[in-house]
Amino acid sequence: MNSLSVKINDSKSVYSTEGHNRIEFAKRLFYNGTEISGLKMDILKAAGKHLTMIPTLLQVANLRSFDLSVDDFKIPSYLSDKGHELLSVLLFDKTNGARPITGGKAKSVTIQELRHEMMKIRIDRLEKQKDSIFMYLSGNKPISTYFDREGISVHQQIIGLSKRVDTTCLHPIVWELNKRGEEIFDLLPQLEEYLDTWKGTGEIPELQPCEYIPLLDNSVYFGDRQTLKSLIHTSLVLKAYGNLKKLQ
């Protein structure tokens, strides 16, 4: 750092001593290999406003060495019967079926039934996302149309219209859509085959990025991917439970 003429602020530095290894990286603190970072106020506020964020709060807390067990978590008494039921469904999922679904007009389902329905919804969502990609790539006018209309001269390679196959010359949006399409085409057959051969153990494949990162959105590049993944998983759980209730 001295060679770069950058001074180190001792008051903001973390030092390790023998037997006490301390690290600070990106505002997260670690001591002897264990994370001891505090919980951010935004996730506490979110959990206070949206019950769907409570399982995420518990997950983050456990990662950061807070003793907040999902098994011991008590459902807040201020929740409505419906809120109680939905939160209990999320905790039922988090504990792999160990905690019962209670409150409201709760219906008895097994963890196998819930996960099976979640798999069906994931496949359906991917099919719809695939259709959206086709719509974006084939339903709109070529991007050169808009440049020509405004009388703007631009090199064809810059806007992804070159005949070269080198993907580096593709327009970023075209490149992203193509990449997402490839990911979906790879994942769909895997999920469909898994669903066909699934033995009902309760374990299902983990969500993949193409399932929770939005198309053509800043979240693709700048969003908190772990939060996006958690929110999509939560929506899957509640949607699957709702579908199962309708069948009963």
More confident of the two residues 83 and 8:
83
Q: Distance between CA atoms of 167 and 190, rounded to whole angstroms?
A: 26
Q: Quick one: pLDDT band at residue 5, thresholds 50, 70, 90? A: confident
Reading the block at residue 246, the tokens are: 């309708």
**pLDDT tens digits for 51-90?**
777 777 777 777 777 766 666 678 888 888 988 999 899 9
The predicted structure's pLDDT at residue 158: 53
**Could you give the strand order of the β-sheet that contains 22-25, starting from the edge strand earlier in sequence?**
22-25, 28-31, 34-35
Query: Would strands 22-25 and 28-31 be described as parallel, antiparallel, or unpaired?
Result: antiparallel
What value does the mean pLDDT take over residues 151-178? 61
The predicted structure's pLDDT at residue 95: 86
pLDDT at 159 over 70: no
Q: Distance between CA atoms of 177 and 162, rounded to whole angstroms?
A: 17
More confident of the two residues 188 and 138:
188
> Token pair 């800043």 is at which residue?
218
pLDDT at 136 over 90: no
**pLDDT tens digits for 171-225?**
667 777 888 889 999 999 999 999 999 888 878 999 999 998 887 665 555 566 7
The predicted structure's pLDDT at residue 147: 65
Please name the helix (run of DSSP H) or strand (run of DSSP E) that holds residue 158, with its range, or none: none
Please name the helix (run of DSSP H) or strand (run of DSSP E) that holds residue 62, with its range, or none: helix 54-63
Q: Quick one: pLDDT band at residue 244, thresholds 50, 70, 90? A: very high
Compute φ and ψ for 33, nearest 5 degrees.
85, 0
pLDDT at 113 over 90: yes
Q: Distance between CA atoms of 85 and 100, rounded to whole angstroms?
A: 10
Angle at 232 (CA atoms; ends 209, 119), nearest 5 degrees: 80
Reading the block at residue 36, the tokens are: 């001891």
More confident of the two residues 2 and 179:
179
Strand stretches in the chain, DSSP E: 22-25, 28-31, 34-35
Compute φ and ψ for 29, nearest 5 degrees.
-110, 140
